[in-house]
Amino acid sequence: MLKGKTAVITGAATGIGKAIALKMAQHGANIAFIYLNEDSTALDVKKLIKNHKVNVEKYKCDVSDYKAVKNTCEKIIKDFGSVDILVNNAGIVKDGLLLRMSESDFDAVIDVNLKGVFNMTKHLSRPIMKSGAGRIINISSVSGLMGNPGQANYSAAKAGVIGLTKTTAKEFAGKNVTCNAIAPGFIITNMTANLPQAAREYADTTIPLKRMGTVDEVANVAVFLASDMSSYITGEVIRVDGGMCM
């Protein structure tokens, strides 16, 4: 479905980002993936992607750093020649009740989860427009749709991602570039592995499908949105949440 395309994926050393990178490689896309702290893990991911016989390179970069992102994007264009797909997945959490949340914890989450999307989109916008059928996929969250106690920073950032997605979709449509968001619910990752048992039980009882989702289920939607099969979908927010946020 993605043969010959080049995809840039942020936060791809673990979790949802890793699953998206592997799934897109499986469908023939060349992969440029960005990570920050997991050097050995990123090397392992690169080896796994190579197994799909596509071109792959890893780039260490803090997506919240405007200049670092600019330099990294220039390296990607130099290495791959073009970019067709951008997946803005990188994100962090620093949960806490609003009354106790520090300014630094609020700013850090906004900088990575929201400003990081702006930085990547800004610096890859021209190459993606040149592709003729560019695809931008932003990973939001159901927290950005309905809010979540203890996540004022995360919910605000992910809601901002949805607004940015819709604006990008309108601004880039004239160049045949689509921009959509995926809003995962409770997904089994390293991040959710540390959830208290009570939270897991709550998820299992309140989610209509009675289970948490998998990273592959999110990755499947990302591949669809990156492919020609979604060519008339833009500005949309697709929930992958088992019905949690209906």
Clarify whether 35 is annotated catalytic.
no
Distance CA 241, CA 246 (A): 9
Distance CA 76, CA 58 (A): 9
Instruction: For the chain, state the CA radius of gyration.
Output: 17
Quick one: how far is CA 242 from the chain centroid?
A: 19
**Cβ-contact 89, 139 below 8 angstroms:** yes
Q: What is the token pair recorded at 154?
A: 């995360």
Which amino acid is located at 173 in the chain? A
Distance CA 180, CA 51 (A): 29
Among residues 35, 59, 66, 154, the one annotated as catalytic is 154
Closest-CA residue to 139 (of 76, 193, 181, 186)? 181
Element (H, E) at 61: none
Per-residue burial over 24-62, b = 16 or more CB atoms within 10 Å of its CB, e = otherwise: bbbbebbbbbbbbebeeebeebbeebeebebebebbebb
Quick one: how far is CA 168 from the chain centroid?
A: 15
Which residues is 240 bridged to in the sheet? Answer: 184
Quick one: how far is CA 53 from the chain centroid?
A: 23
Active site residues: 154
